[in-house]
Chain A
Amino acid sequence: MNKYNQTLDKNFRDKEKLIQIPTRNGYGEGLVLAGKENPNVLVLCADLTESTRSIDFQKEFPKRFIECGIAEQNMMSMASGLALSGKIPFVSTYAVFSPGMNWGQIRVNVLQNNANVKIAGAHTGISVGPDGMSHQALEDIAILRCLPGIIILVPCDAIEARKAVLAAARCKGAVYLRFAREKTPVFTSEKTPFQIGKAEILKKGKDVTIIGCGPLLYEALLAAEKLEKKGIEAEVINNHTIKPLDEKTILASIKKTKVLVTIEEHQIMGGMGSAVVEMLAKKFPAPVEMIGVQDRFGESGEPEELMEKFKLTHPYIIKAVEKVLKRK
């Protein structure tokens, strides 16, 4: 039992007993808390106030909420001007629009100005569902990871999302926060530590490392539990901070287990898995299987249908573990 992180929700093994909330709700709650904590916190949104949950902040602090219309490039530029004037703007819309449409403004106006802008990408991953490929952000991490000076956070549930928003508001510098649309199990608790740049071990194990980010981590926990029954001890790491990467925690785990499986709801090119294996290739090369979206766009469907079709659920994690163990 003590293999598991003791701060997880006590019902984490039983999905039925866990409450299910989208991580975007954690964003809305976090914004209100950050707004109460610091009067300089502002929220900008591009005509998606309800679905990004920016509405929570708008209701609480209407004078600190800026409706930008459907103009994401200008929203990001304005955020940089606000930040250079001492404000802490949170730029909120779907990730396919921001950073999808304003990467240049992030590069020049935010990062080359060293502006304290927080970027919230909503509706990421194929779990966006029926809206289909145009609205399923699967490339956001890849296009931001390559930019110097940005911090990238992918919270795994609504509680962690709220903590990530507060941490982002408190830290100086540009931060990207990634959120999902669908309800997903809340399996961490108020007590689970969250620190930018510090990966959290959810379960200890010696045979294989499963490292992931976002709500998919719950599938990793389910996989790890089933693997236990097969006598395979998997270590599960919540790598919520993709940049800067917690090399120390990850290296220590891989040096112990020697093999890994990466999981994320993002293209396998340029995402969290890429960040991990780039680092390992230099410091401790290890056999790896990468679970994610395999170089294709999404499609319409119910989230659970798509998660199955794209092979992102725990049975596929188990298969990947068994495959990678053969290369040990």
Chain B
Amino acid sequence: MAIYSIHESKIKKLEETANQIRQDIIKMLLAAGSGHSAGPLGMADVFTALYFHILNHNPKKPDWPDRDKLILSNGHICPVLYAVLARAGYFPIEELKTLRKFGSRLQGHPHRGSLPGIENSSGPVAYGAGLAVGMAIAAKMDEKKHQIYCIVGDGEQDEGMTWEAINMAGKWRLDNLTFIMDRNNIQIDGYTEDVMPKEPLRQKYEAFGWHVIDIDGNNIRQIVEACQQAEAIFEKPVMIIAHTIPGKGVDFMEGKFKWHGITPKPEEAREALHQLRTLGGKIKSEHE
């Protein structure tokens, strides 16, 4: 995959942004007092790579018709979307702390129309997949060149409607459509394979006519290169299975399904921010 080059300095910069996004997420969740922790932290690298390197978008013109569109199918990880949208310039960063509060534009699950940059209302998982397929078909009909990205969870692979959408995308050979799956192996009731087996995901998607790319979803270079590769694939929709560590960046959250739907207490948030600022104690932070 060496042909898809991204300069090391750019990767460093994106990693720093992702770290900032993770700190934003911790602060938002602490202020909100409810919400989801593991998913947003695990997907911080994917969202950072998308909004700061991959997506063709313009925060000053959120309704620009030729923008790339990002559909969120697992709406509960919205703190990471809100954080990247704010950092990208869609709305003031101070507003992040209003997450889930009365009167806030940052609803508990995203609502299109409440906040610039939100492409779809979501919450119940799996609803975004078919919507993204519809957008990709519309773009094909109109001979538009923009890309449709859809972020899905691994838990929502349980839903029948997921496979209806996947089937349709295969039928239409939607090469303007890229899904990125947060393959973090957890859902509310436990580890995904215990709740309901998902594997073999690669073979399932390939059987439905998709091109599948497995990556380390916490590795910026791999994320960027996979998205670039996806754009270059013709005649097939692409599923990037991003193997992520839920709660990534905070050692006591990493890999634990209990952090799926809860938020840190003040002392836990302090410890989480300390770890992020010092990269797990490896560097001494200027913020200390």
| Chain A residues within CB distance 8 Å of chain B | 63-64, 66, 68-69, 71, 73-87, 89, 104-105, 108-109, 112-114
Contact = CB atoms under 8 A, between A and B. Distances in A.
Nearest to A64: B141
A80 B131 contact: yes
B173 interface: no
Contact of B161 (A74, A79, A84): A74
Nearest to A87: B138
Contacts of B167: 69, 71, 74
Contacts of A87: 138, 141
Interface in B174-209: none
Contacts of A109: 120-121, 127, 130-131
Contacts of A66: 137
A82 B120 contact: no
A81 B164 contact: no
Nearest to A104: B124
A167 B132 CA distance: 28
Contacts of A82: 134-135, 137-138
B113 A77 contact: no
Contacts of A69: 164, 167-168
Most buried by A among B121, B134, B139, B141: B134
Contacts of B112: 84, 112-114
Given A69-B167, A108-B123, A114-B113, A77 B137 contact: no
24 contacts: A73-B160, A73-B161, A74-B129, A74-B130, A77-B127, A77-B134, A77-B165, A78-B133, A81-B71, A81-B134, A81-B137, A82-B135, A84-B119, A84-B134, A84-B135, A85-B135, A87-B138, A104-B127, A108-B121, A108-B124, A109-B121, A112-B112, A112-B121, A113-B113
B218 interface: no
Interface string B126-165: 0111111111111101100000000000000000110011
B135 A105 contact: no
Query: Which interface residue of A63, A78, A84 has the most chain B CB atoms within 10 A?
Result: A78
Contacts, number: 103
A245 B123 CA distance: 30
A77 B138 contact: no
B133 A84 contact: no
B111 interface: yes
A108 B135 CA distance: 16
Given A87-B138, A112-B111, A113-B112, A78 B130 contact: yes
Contacts of B121: 108-109, 112-113
A78 B168 contact: yes
Contacts of A76: 130
A63 B137 CA distance: 11
Chain B interface residue bracket vs A: 20 to 34
B63 to A, nearest CB: 11
Contacts of B37: none
Contact of A77 (B129, B136, B141, B160): B129
Contact of A108 (B119, B122, B164): B122
Given A64-B141, A78-B137, A81-B131, 7 more contacts: A68-B168, A71-B161, A78-B134, A80-B130, A82-B135, A82-B137, A83-B134
A217 B20 CA distance: 65
Contacts of A73: 130, 160-161, 164
Nearest to A70: B164
B127 A85 contact: no
A73 B134 CA distance: 12
A85 B142 CA distance: 10
Contacts of B127: 77, 104-105, 108-109
A75 B164 CA distance: 9
A98 to B, nearest CB: 13
Nearest to A85: B138
A108 B111 CA distance: 10
B162 to A, nearest CB: 9
A77 to B, nearest CB: 3
Complex A-B, nearest 9 residue pairs according to Cβ-Cβ distance, in ascending order: A81-B134, A77-B130, A85-B138, A74-B164, A78-B134, A71-B164, A112-B121, A81-B131, A81-B135
A79 B119 CA distance: 15
Contact of B130 (A63, A64, A81, A113): A81
B133 A81 contact: yes
Contact of B138 (A71, A86, A104): A86
A270 B83 CA distance: 43
B145 to A, nearest CB: 14
B65 to A, nearest CB: 8
Given A77-B129, A112-B112, A85 B134 contact: yes
A74 B113 CA distance: 23
A119 to B, nearest CB: 14
A78 B161 contact: no
A78 B113 contact: no
Nearest to A83: B134
A89 B127 CA distance: 18
A206 to B, nearest CB: 47
A239 to B, nearest CB: 31
Interface in B52-83: 65, 71
